[in-house]
Structure 1
Amino acid sequence: MRLPIYQVDAFTGEVFRGNPAAVVPLETWIADATMQGIAAENNLAETAFFVPTGPAHYHLRWFTPEVEVDLCGHATLAAAAVLYEHLGQDAPAVTFDTRSGPLVVAREGGAYTMDFPARRPRPLPRDRQVAVALGGEPNELWLARDCMAVFETEAEVRALVPDMAKVKALGVFAMIATAPADPALSPGADFVSRFFAPAAGVAEDPVTGSAHCTLVPYWADRLAKTTLEARQVSRRGGALRCTIDGDRVRMTGQTVCYLEGTITV
């Protein structure tokens, strides 16, 4: 079986930055084990698979190298870019049916805007195990799907060297580390973050759309703003413009296609 494949750098306008995702368009679904095997072979944070279900409507699934996940931002952005830039889609927006409900992505000039569910976190007591696992002492802990550690400064977030075995042993899907942006380090940004998900087979994800479903409600409340500029300060780095609208988060980012080819399975 020969399948088309694209590799897209998401949340960036430059190749070799942002978060790379593989996208495999399908006409009909193939075996889950085959999709998981393709994702493991790609060895990227996520591989997205989609099947058309109607005009500008698709069923979308995401796989890390180890598991299927219920929400992924950068691979959704990448899937939309493949549809518009390689497969002839010309509708104002596309809808993806997913395990997290319908997700709409609209093309806006040279970027794409995704409409995702907000995941408002609840506060947790401070936990020394989190500090030991991350390699730094956060001021606050919050929990939605992911555990979010809030630090005082961007420099602290950038300096973290987590112990991935200890992060995995915390028993959460992933750890988000975040802090207010430092104008000297991230000019124009409101907040920064990093994302660690060893339990899902991803040590550090370069730019994580789904994490901003939790980050944006928190920072919108704290900064009293509805539109925020976000930076993920991983080694590759990436940028998102985010807006909170009730129980929805809209995220806008650019993409660059790095690779187009065919896989044989």
Structure 2
Amino acid sequence: MRIRIVDAFTDRPFAGNPAGVLLLDAFPDDAWLQNVAAEVNHAETAFAHPLPEGGAADWALRWFTPATEVDMCGHGTLAAAHVLHSTGTARGPVRFATRSGVLVATPHEDGSLTLDFPTAPLTEEPAPAGLADVLGAVPLSAHDTGPSVGDLLVELPDEKTVRALSPDLKALADHFERGIIATARAEDPARGHDFVSRCFFPRVGIDEDPVTGSAHTALAPFWAPRLGRTDLTGLQASPRTGLVRVALRGERTLLTGSAVTVIEGDLTA
């Protein structure tokens, strides 16, 4: 069967967030899916198979990190939709049945895709004890992102602080059950982004996620009222970097980005 590596939320190879993508006839057992994801060893591997016509969705979609299955993945969804459209397997909007409900990917003439995801509900809460020591920076605020994302969003003083983060990943994995989304206002919006972020998820086998679509369903409602606009662009300032255009639409957040297939081959196992 064909396996592809797709760089998502970028328009050039070797940037954005790489994801494995396999289009299947049906889902094999979970152990096989997890083994493939561990072998691919990227932040996520997306597995999809077609569903019968006439239903609420066109394809079933699941995502696995090298260590576990996850409930929501933006870049894996973008990568799967990119493969479906770039191979001519699908045309027009694609509806994916997932653990987070039906997610729709809509293609555009420039090759980009827009994902329709649920907006994460934010609840401000005190920063956990010891978090500043683990991150190496003192948060201005901390927010629970609800069950759909399940991470802690922390605002830091400025873009420079976010870019300079070098957290204690072992301590983060040992003492905090959730991942961390660190964010700050852009230093210079004229550079093409309104806010920056970095994401750390060592408990699920991802020390730093290069570009995290699901995190932007929390970043959009966080930054929209602070910046006075509902359409924004986020730069994830990981070493690979990537851009996510977000549009806050109440209970839904639209995530727009491009993707590039960089490797295609045969899986023989």
TM-score, normalising length: structure 1: 0.96
Question: Residue 142 of structure 1 aligns to a residue in which SS?
Answer: strand
2:70 counterpart of 1:66: no
Counterpart of 2:169 in structure 1 is: 164
CA deviation after TM superposition for structure 1 residue 52, in Å: 0.3
Equivalent-residue separation in structure 2 for 1:201 and 1:70 (angstroms): 15
Tell me if structure 2 keeps the 8 A contact 1:71–1:99.
yes
Question: Residue 78 of structure 2 aligns to a residue in which SS?
Answer: helix
Q: Which has the higher strand share?
A: 1
Tell me if structure 2 keeps the 8 A contact 1:206–1:234.
yes
Equivalent-residue separation in structure 1 for 2:265 and 2:178 (angstroms): 32
Between 1:75-84 and 1:51-60, the stretch displaced more is 51-60
Q: How is 1:119-130 mapped onto 2 (pairs within 5 angstroms)?
A: 119-130=120-131
CA deviation after TM superposition for structure 1 residue 165, in Å: 1.0
Counterpart of 1:219 in structure 2 is: 223
Give the direction of change, closer, same or farther, for the CA distance of 1:170–1:123 in structure 2 (3 Å limit): farther
Counterpart of 2:212 in structure 1 is: 208
Equivalent-residue separation in structure 1 for 2:88 and 2:37 (angstroms): 21
From 233, 250, 253, the equivalent of 1:246 is 250
Q: How is 1:175-190 mapped onto 2 (pairs within 5 angstroms)?
A: 175-183=180-188, 187-190=191-194
Equivalent-residue separation in structure 2 for 1:13 and 1:173 (angstroms): 30
Q: Deviations over 1:74-101 (max 9, x none)?
A: 01000000000014312x2000000000
Q: How is 1:13-92 mapped onto 2 (pairs within 5 angstroms)?
A: 13-55=11-53, 57-90=58-91, 92=92
Counterpart of 2:119 in structure 1 is: 118
Structure 2 counterpart of 1:93, one-letter code: P
Taking only aligned residues, the RMSD between alpha carbons, in angstroms, comes to: 1.3
Kindly tell me the number of residue pairs found equivalent between the two proteins. Answer: 261
Q: Deviations over 1:182-240 (max 9, x none)?
A: 118x7121110000000000000000000011111110122121100110000000001
The answer for unaligned runs of 5 or more in structure 2 is none
Equivalent-residue separation in structure 1 for 2:94 and 2:101 (angstroms): 14
Structure 2 counterpart of 1:19, one-letter code: N
Equivalent-residue separation in structure 1 for 2:50 and 2:89 (angstroms): 13
Counterpart of 1:138 in structure 2 is: 139
Equivalent-residue separation in structure 2 for 1:231 and 1:195 (angstroms): 12
Question: Residue 9 of structure 1 aligns to a residue in which SS?
Answer: strand
Counterpart of 1:256 in structure 2 is: 260
Between 1:81-90 and 1:9-18, the stretch displaced more is 81-90
Counterpart of 2:198 in structure 1 is: 194
Structure 1 counterpart of 2:198, one-letter code: R
Structure 2 counterpart of 1:68, one-letter code: E
Counterpart of 1:100 in structure 2 is: 100
Between 1:49-58 and 1:232-241, the stretch displaced more is 49-58
